[in-house]
Chains A and B, each alone.
Chain A
Amino acid sequence: MTEEVVLFWACASLALLSAIATVASRSAIRAAVALLAHIISLAGLYLTLAAEMLAVVQLLVYAGAVVVLFVFVIMLIGPSASPPRESASVVSRTLAALLVASTGVVLVPVLWRVGAAAPEIVRCAPSEVGCTQFGSIEGLATGLFGPALVPFELSSALLLVAIVGAIAVARGRHGASEKKGAESPGSPDGGAGRGASHATGHGAAGHAGGGHG
């Protein structure tokens, strides 16, 4: 029991500090690394909650995919991913201060006193067949592939749509015009010329908008 308490306090303090670092750091890459530390400490918290499988999924998906995706985008954008000057409006500062005040005064002091120690979990012996322990792979799978089977299959469709959508949005007009240009040299004046003029017109509009901003 006592090592769980130690792990909770270590992971909770690390999660708090790294969350503050994520939000407060000027540089985007430092925020991404702080997010990585936050995710690892949350995986430790899941271990104290007897959710071993979920801790592994957290490390695989968040630390292995999401943070790497963030770092890739920061790398693609380059130095302007961390602009030197940014200022928040009065409204959002007031809202943030209200959130801090309401949480500090109401939520935390009330929640801190809730609840007793966790109920004991039935531990399975390694040799025991047919015993599913809480939080193990088998345990999570019985919940996932039993009552939650349809949402699980739907989530695969969601991920596929997200992949296709992310590629379509990130590639943008640039890839489409390149494809048109590659097809065009055969035809003397086809849709390619029109496409090019279309693209330049959009570029000019974008520049004008930039001048206004």
Chain B
Amino acid sequence: MSIGLGHYLALAGVLFVIGAIGFLTRRNVLVNLMSIELMLNAANVTLVAFNRWHPNDHTGQVFAFFVIAVAAAEAAVGLAIVLSLYRLRKTVLTDRANELKH
């Protein structure tokens, strides 16, 4: 049995949904950031898989490269915000970050 493009796309879809579920149902902001990384990685899998089935140029891999760069920048800034939130409220629960609400 050979591996088709659909296998990669289905796997990436399931991984993306796992990340989305983690982002929606967890209240720990660290786990939320990790879920965002899961979703970005799932998108990368689809880009690289499509590029493998159209190997005339490297557009998909270049896109995945940029996604990795943006994800690294996003993780750095996001974790700085987490540290700032922790310094302010002594918690990492997103439910407690409600200063604009009251």
Hey, which bits of chain A sit against chain B, CB under 8 A? 1, 4-5, 8, 12, 15-16, 19-20, 22-24, 28, 31-32, 35, 38-39, 42, 45-46, 48-51, 53-54, 57-58, 61-62, 65-66, 69-70, 73-74, 76-77, 80-83, 86-88, 92-93, 95-96, 99-100, 103, 107-108, 111-119, 121, 134-135, 139-140, 142-144, 147-148, 151-152, 155, 158-159, 161-163, 165-167, 169-170, 172, 174, 206, 209-210, 212-213
Contact = CB atoms under 8 A, between A and B. Distances in A.
B81 to A, nearest CB: 6
Contact of A51 (B61, B69, B75): B61
Contacts, number: 257
A61 B77 contact: no
- 7 smallest A-B Cβ distances: which pairs? A114-B6, A115-B5, A143-B58, A23-B22, A162-B73, A170-B80, A86-B27
Interface residues of B, number: 78
Contacts of B44: 42, 58
A39 B71 CA distance: 13
Contacts of A57: 65, 68
Contacts of A119: 53, 55
Contact of B13 (A107, A140, A212): A107
User: Chain A interface secondary structure, helix, strand, loop or mixed?
Assistant: helix
Interface string B30-67: 11011101100100110011011101011101101110
Most buried by A among B8, B70, B88, B89: B8
A159 to B, nearest CB: 6
Contacts of A1: 2
Interface string B3-40: 11111111101110111111011111011011101100
B9 A114 contact: yes
28 contacts: A5-B3, A23-B35, A28-B92, A45-B48, A51-B51, A51-B61, A57-B65, A61-B72, A62-B72, A77-B92, A80-B90, A82-B28, A83-B91, A86-B27, A86-B95, A92-B25, A93-B24, A96-B24, A99-B24, A108-B14, A119-B53, A143-B57, A155-B66, A159-B69, A170-B79, A172-B87, A209-B99, A209-B102
